[in-house]
Every structure is written in C-alpha cells, then in structure tokens.
Chains A and B, each alone.
Chain A
Amino acid sequence: MSSRHLGDCVLPDSKSKTVEQRAAEGQVANFQRQLGPFVVAAETTRMAMAFTDATAPGEPIIFANEAFFHLTGYPCDEVLAQPIEFFFHPDSDGKTLAEIAAACHGHEGGPDIRYRRKNGSGFWASTFVSRVFNAAGETAQHFISLADNTKHHQERERCYALIDELNHRVKNTLSTVQSIVSQASKKANQGELFRDAVESRIFALSRSHDLLARVSWDGVAMHDLVTTALEPFRPAVGDFDRTTISGPDFQLSPRATIALGIAFHELATNATKYGAFHSQRGSLAVSWDFSPLAASANLRIRWAENDGPPVAKPTQKGFGSQVLERGLAHELGGKVTLEYKDSGLVCLIEVPAHGNIL
C-alpha cells in the first residue's frame, strides 16, 4: 500500500493560487479528513483519477492519484494546476475536445481519448467525467477517471491492418486465377483440357496458400514446398521411389513460396505430360544448395529428370516456360536455364538469396 498522503502534493506556487483554488484545496483536505479510507483507495487503485476545480479558469487539476502519475509519466508537481487538456495527444482533434467538453457537462458515456505521456508516447484511455456539487448545488469539481485501453486500441489497429492485407491478398489471388484461366484458354480449345489446366493450377495455388496459412504467412520450409508441389502427381510418380529431394532446409518468404510453388507445379505437369513421370522408368532428382559468391549467396535449385522419353525444346512458349523464364526472373530476380537433354529435362534455377527469398 502506498504510504503517501494526499496532502503531500500541493500546488507549486502558492502565490499563483486563486481564491477558488484555495477553496477547492480546502475541500480536498475535507475529503481527506472525512473520507480517509476512500482517499487511500483512490491512492492505491490502478485506475488513474483526477479532480479538477470546475470554478477556476481553465479548470486546473487539484488532485491526482498515483495511477495518474504512473500512466502519464508526469510527477505530481507537474500535474497539479494543469488542465486535463494538457495531457491530450497533439493529434487530438476538435471531436476529442467536444467529447470531453460534453463529458464535463454531465453527458453519459466515457469517450476514448488519446493522451500523451511525458516522454512523448501516446496512450488511449476511456475517460469518465462526473460532477461534484457544492452545498449550493453548483458544480465545484469534476472527477475524471482514466481507464487505460491502449492495448485494445493496438489490437484493433492490428486487426484493421490484417483485414486490409487480407483484402489485398484475396484480390491478388483472384487476379492470379484470372491469369490462369486466360493462359489456359489460349491453348486448350477442348473443354476438358481447359478445365484440367485451370483446375490443377488453382489447386496448386491453393496448396501453397495452405502451406503459408499453416505458418501464418511466415516462412515455409523449402523441403515442404517441394513435397507439397509434387504430392498431386503421386499417382503418376508411383510412390516417390523414383524421386529424390535433397538440400539444406531453410525458410522461404511468402513471395518465394507462391512463385516457386507455381514453378514446381509447372515442371511436374510438364514431366507428367512429356517427361520422366510419363514413363514407368523415369526418375526425378530435385536438389538445391547455396553457392557462396563474392558479395552474396545464390540459391541454386536443380530439377533433373532422368530415363524418361527423349525431350525436345518446345516450339511454342507455354505458360510453364513463361513462368520459369520470365516469372521467376521478375519475381525473385532469378536466372533459369532449361536444358532439353536426351536423358530428360534439366532445369536450373539460380536466385540471389536475399530478402525476396528468405
């Protein structure tokens, strides 16, 4: 319990006190005598409280409790004689002032007001104002209590930011779906092929989102990304006994997860149609490492098909090769080399390992 008494804190300069202030102080002294336990309660509660002299110009604070000093960071002698507005945050607008004025005039409700601490930081507090009447029935003081709800406001701000970001991602995803449909419609004139091309890519996108959702959009493991991208091709691949995945594990950024997820899906689709997954004997090795360069490290991914049917460079550039050659370059600043070997396709992806990837 605090050992400090109300009387410890008096207005700094007694000459500047008005007759009314002296009277108000006299009243506070009276409270102290008559309401001893309540004064102790006010001193020890964690709710910030202050009394203002409603009869003096500018309504100076004539009493404030420990919680008030603690919340504002101002010591007692810098609080007394200040009006409550002194603690308003500089961003406070006319609406705040009108709300507090309305509260002072006895209107119901405790408006949320942004205040400032001595160190310049801001805090939010529900502000309750009630009137204290004198014997003549006039408002002698205002009793102001502040309930700190900064945390609630911060949570709300964070929610707004998240909703904003979510909207943004939804719209981008819809745009991506639009692009998938428009690409598929360029090539496939048969309904079924069109549907397959669209569906498989939308599902691939959806699986990348699942991976991201599982880690709250914060770092998907490379190994998980490759496994997830290959998973839908399991029927074609057999039981992965002809597929090896190897490389040091590390976390990919959301951006890289989406981009590489699409890239692996296109490679696997291609392998199923024309490459290693098209034959019973074909095999696939996905591996990666970091090549240390002079200034930064490069992530090198190698997708190597083997023992599949012979492959040849396509005459037309489809969505798959556009994703690899143009897309990864744009998205991750990478370089992609496609080698159409007799043994199968070899795709080398080299991207600078910096903020875009990790």
Chain B
Amino acid sequence: MAIMIMLVGALEELGCEAVFTASTVIQACDILAANLFDAAMLDINLSGTTSYPVAAVLQGRGIPFIFSTGYQVERIPERYKKHIILTKPYPMGELARAFTALLGPAPR
C-alpha cells in the first residue's frame, strides 16, 4: 500500500496524466477494458496470484509494460525476461528510466 502511494506519486511527478491501480488480476482486467493506456507496470504477485494473465492482455493490446517484483528475477518465466524487470527495492530514478525506455522522453 505504501509502495503503491510512492509509485503513484513518482509517476505523477514524471508527468503521467492519469494513474490507475489494481490489486487483483480481475481489477486490472476491468480497468484495462474500460480505459486506454500508454504503458503499464505489473507487480508479479497480485494478492497472492501471478499477474501473468494481465501481461497476456497487455501484450494482446500492444501496451508496453515493465515488471516490478520482490521475487528473484530467475523466477520470472523465460518469455517475459525481455521486459524490463525492476526488483524491489529500486530507486525512483530507475522507474523514470524504465518508463522513458517504454515511452520515449517526456514531452516538454
């Protein structure tokens, strides 16, 4: 919860116009169905289940995304290893770099 508040704050500071959060796969899919997104960030563990179903939806819709996790990187399936994976805890500067890599530099 505190992590989510920090991330939302950091993303807003980076210039994200709207930041949506979800704590379950179902919530995430509902939000995805109802909104248009430029990019996404997935924690691998969503309320005890993996967020890979959400990753599949994002891939299907062509929305770029990064992972964030407290697990060791080795646990992540091979097919997702080409994505940027931030392992907790990470500096907010790295979050900025990851999103810049996904979206290009922020418009001035």
Contacts and interface: CB of A to CB of B under 8 A. Distances in A.
Interface of A: 164, 167-172, 174-180, 182-183, 255, 258-259, 262, 319, 322-323, 326-328, 330-333, 355-356
A174 B45 CA distance: 16
**Which of B47, B75, B87, B89: most chain A Cβ within 10 A?**
B89
B88 A174 contact: yes
Given A175-B6, A255-B47, A330-B21, 17 more contacts: A164-B72, A167-B71, A168-B45, A168-B71, A171-B87, A171-B88, A176-B2, A177-B89, A178-B3, A180-B2, A322-B5, A323-B1, A327-B4, A328-B1, A331-B4, A333-B23, A356-B47
Contact of B70 (A171, A177, A319): A171
Given A172-B88, A183-B6, A356-B23, A259 B1 contact: yes
A264 to B, nearest CB: 13
Interface in B82-107: 87-90, 92
A331 B88 contact: no
**Which of B3, B22, B24, B90: most chain A Cβ within 10 A?**
B3
Contacts of A355: 47
A331 B70 contact: no
A212 to B, nearest CB: 15
B72 A167 contact: yes
A174 B89 contact: yes
B8 interface: yes
Q: Rank and list the top 7 A-B pairs by shortest CB-CB distance, nearest first.
A: A171-B70, A179-B6, A327-B1, A175-B88, A179-B2, A168-B70, A175-B89
A171 B23 CA distance: 18
Main secondary structure of the interface of A (DSSP, over half): helix
A145 B88 CA distance: 48
**Which of A170, A174, A259, A330: most chain B Cβ within 10 A?**
A330
Interface residues of B, number: 25
Contacts of B27: 333
B27 to A, nearest CB: 8
Contacts of A170: 70
A332 B27 CA distance: 11
A341 to B, nearest CB: 26
Nearest to B4: A330
Interface string B15-50: 000000111100100000000000000000101000
Contacts of B24: 356
A327 B87 contact: no
Contacts of B89: 171, 174-175, 177-178
Given A171-B88, A171-B89, A164 B4 contact: no
Contact of B71 (A164, A262, A327): A164
A262 B24 CA distance: 20
A326 B8 contact: yes
Nearest to A171: B70
Contacts of A331: 1, 4, 23
A330 to B, nearest CB: 5
Nearest to B6: A179
A220 to B, nearest CB: 16
Nearest to A179: B6
A160 to B, nearest CB: 11
A215 to B, nearest CB: 17
B8 A172 contact: no
A355 B25 CA distance: 13
Nearest to A254: B48
26 contacts: A167-B72, A168-B70, A168-B71, A169-B70, A171-B87, A171-B89, A172-B3, A172-B70, A172-B88, A174-B89, A175-B3, A175-B88, A176-B3, A179-B2, A180-B2, A182-B9, A182-B92, A183-B6, A258-B1, A262-B1, A326-B4, A330-B4, A330-B22, A331-B23, A355-B47, A356-B23
